Structure formats: C-alpha cells, structure tokens
Amino acid sequence: MLEQKLITFKFGDIICGIPLLDVREIIPQMEHTPVPLSVPYVQGLINLRGQIVTLVDLTKIFKQDSLTLQHSKYNILLRNEAYAQEGLSPTDRIGFSVDAIGDVLPYFEADLDAPPANLNELDSRWIEAVLKQPEGIVTILNMSNILKEALQASLTTV
C-alpha cells in the first residue's frame, strides 16, 4: 500500500480534506471581484501575481444554507493537471475559500470509509470518502465532481 497525504481545512463546522498533490498553493484570503451575470457557483475573481483565478463558491455547489463560510481566511488553489479530464485547461486557475487550514494527514487507502448513506450535510456526489481521526471525521471532497458541476453550469449559461 502506498501512503498518501491529505490537506485538511475547515469549511463552516465541517472538517474537509482533499489530496495534497491536488493543491497548487494556499494563500491568505484576498478581496475578490464579483462577476456580473455569472453562474451562482462563481464566487468571484482574484488577481494573483498577474494571473486571474476563479473562486468557486462551495456553499452554492453544496446547495446547503447551513454551510456558510464563517470567517473565510484562506484560498486553496488547485493544480490544473489534477483536473484536466474535468475540462480545466493548463491556463485556467481555480480555487475556493475556506475558514481555516488544518493539518497534512498521512493515510492509506484502507483507512478510508465510504460516506454513510445518512450523511445529509453534503450531497453524496461531493463526498469521496471519510477518514476517522482523533479530532473527528474528515470529509474528503470529490473535487472532480465539484469541478465538473461548476464547469457544466458555466457552459450551460453562456
């Protein structure tokens, strides 16, 4: 078995995670520019060192009013290469806002559990697995499905 690493973060009251290798960088929250007439999933745009980054609003993807960013302090920017099959081009820059950054957790595939059928805070399409930790359960997000949803929505509204 090959050990993998997961970056954890707080999103509202939930501890979430994504594979560390899928993360380009984590930056402090920057003021974003809203995009008029964009799909609801687009939180806005930021200018990061001359490159435009689209921020996806995960609360809109999850369609859960109870999941709100409480004190958004960080933006997690994704590696395009990790999501090329979802339609991201090498020049696209995409990220999302989170309340807090947690730890980098090592894990093995055998450590992961399927999400429970009664987990109602997030739609099951958005959850890849759960990981039990002493601090609580880490919800591992399925960023492939999240990005597919966001990209499909943006294409259908153009």
Break the chain into its structural domains and give their ranges.
Answer: 4-156
Give strand pairing partners of 21: none
Contact call for residues 76 and 1 (beta carbons, < 8 A): no
pLDDT computed for residue 157 by the predictor: 47
Q: How confident is the model at residue 25, as a pLDDT? A: 95
Low-confidence ranges of the chain (pLDDT < 50): 157-158
Please give the pLDDT value at position 24: 93
Residues 6+ apart with CB under 8 A from 154: 38, 39, 41, 42
Greatest distance between any 2 Cα atoms in the chain: 47
pLDDT, position 71: 67
At 158 the pLDDT is: 43
Amino acid at 119: L
- The number of angstroms, rounded, from the C-alpha of 149 to the middle of its chain's C-alpha atoms is 12
What is the pTM assigned to this prediction? 0.85
Q: Residue 142 and residue 54: Cα distance in Å, rounded?
A: 18
User: Which two three-digit tokens encode residue 113?
Assistant: 């559990």
Identify the pLDDT of residue 49.
Answer: 93
Angle at 154 between CA 140 and CA 12, to 5 degrees: 35
Superfamily of domain 4-156: CheA-289, Domain 4 (2.40.50.180)
| 9 sits in which H/E element | strand 4-11
- For the chain, percent of residues with pLDDT exceeding 70: 80
Q: What is the pLDDT of residue 37?
A: 86
